[in-house]
């Protein structure tokens, strides 16, 4: 209901106030009541929208929170897999390093053996040359001796004849 006040100089003074002499008109009362109902309806609609918005926001927050949790789990799994991969790679690198060092040691040992074999072969060739020379000298000495003995025998046979 709409009340109209008189100007402040028309209002009574003191503890008692008289209501203005205004009788509500039937159409003004129902119009005011309609406005109150419309305002209440608008307020309820606003509250409903606020509740829906809040519910939607909470849903979106829960959804985002779940996505973040899943992303964190995936990140942790990826980090764990990365660490495991790095450990495996480091182990393979260590194994490869050991294999390389072993191969280098084998090559070095084979090179040493090859040099030793070549040295022995050179010594053997020198010994063979020396032995051939000595054999040649012995052969020559035998020939001389045989020839000298043969010549002496021939000279003796000639002298006897």
DSSP per-residue letters across 82-96: HHHHHHHHHHHHHHH
Q: Is residue 126 part of a domain?
A: yes
pLDDT at 9 over 80: no
Higher pLDDT, 71 or 159: 71
Q: Is residue 108 part of a domain?
A: yes
SS3 (DSSP) at 12 = coil
Which residues, including other chains, have CB under 8 Å from residue 17's CB and lie 6 or more apart?
Answer: 11
Range of the domain at 105: 23-152
pLDDT at 55 over 90: yes
pLDDT for position 25: 59
Q: Is residue 133 part of a domain?
A: yes
Provide mean pLDDT across the span 78-88. 98
Q: Is residue 84 part of a domain?
A: yes
Residue 12 · residue 18 · CB < 8 Å: yes
pLDDT-based confidence at residue 148 (cuts at 50, 70, 90)? confident
Compute the distance between CA of residue 3 and CA of residue 25 in angstroms, rounded to an integer: 11
28: number of Cβ within 10 Å: 13
Q: Is residue 7 part of a domain?
A: no
Compute the distance between CA of residue 130 and CA of residue 62 in angstroms, rounded to an integer: 100
pLDDT-based confidence at residue 143 (cuts at 50, 70, 90)? confident
In this prediction, what percent of the chain has a pLDDT beyond 90? Answer: 63
Q: Which of 27-31, 89-93, 102-106 has the lowest mean pLDDT?
A: 27-31
Planar angle of CA 4, 43, 60, nearest 5 degrees: 160
Higher pLDDT, 57 or 151: 57
pLDDT at 6 over 60: no
Q: Is residue 2 part of a domain?
A: no
Which residues, including other chains, have CB under 8 Å from residue 11's CB and lie 6 or more apart?
Answer: 5, 17
Strand residues in the chain grouped as ranges (E): none
Residue 4 · residue 22 · CB < 8 Å: yes
Give the count of domains, the chain: 1
pLDDT at 80 over 70: yes
pLDDT for position 2: 43
Residue 1 · residue 30 · CB < 8 Å: no
Selection from 3-12, 20-29, 69-78, 142-151 with the highest mean pLDDT? 69-78
Q: Is residue 43 part of a domain?
A: yes
Q: Is residue 1 part of a domain?
A: no
Compute the distance between CA of residue 5 and CA of residue 21 in angstroms, rounded to an integer: 10
Higher pLDDT, 149 or 2: 149
């Amino acid at each position: 209901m709409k009340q109209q006040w008189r100007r402040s100089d028309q209002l009574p003074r003191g503890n008692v106030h008289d209501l203005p002499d205004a009788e509500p008109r039937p159409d003004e009362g129902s119009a005011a009541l309609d406005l109150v109902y419309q305002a209440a309806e608008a307020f309820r609609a606003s509250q409903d929208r606020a509740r829906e918005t809040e519910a939607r926001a909470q849903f979106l927050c829960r959804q985002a929170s779940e996505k973040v949790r899943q992303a964190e789990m995936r990140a942790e799994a990826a980090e764990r897999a990365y660490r495991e991969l790095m450990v495996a790679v480091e182990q393979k690198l260590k194994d490869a390093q050991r294999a390389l060092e072993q191969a280098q040691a084998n090559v070095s040992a084979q090179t040493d053996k090859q040099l030793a074999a070549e040295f022995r072969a050179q010594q053997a060739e020198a010994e063979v040359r020396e032995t051939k020379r000595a054999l040649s000298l012995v052969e020559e000495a035998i020939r001389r001796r045989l020839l000298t003995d043969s010549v002496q025998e021939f000279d003796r046979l000639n002298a006897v004849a």
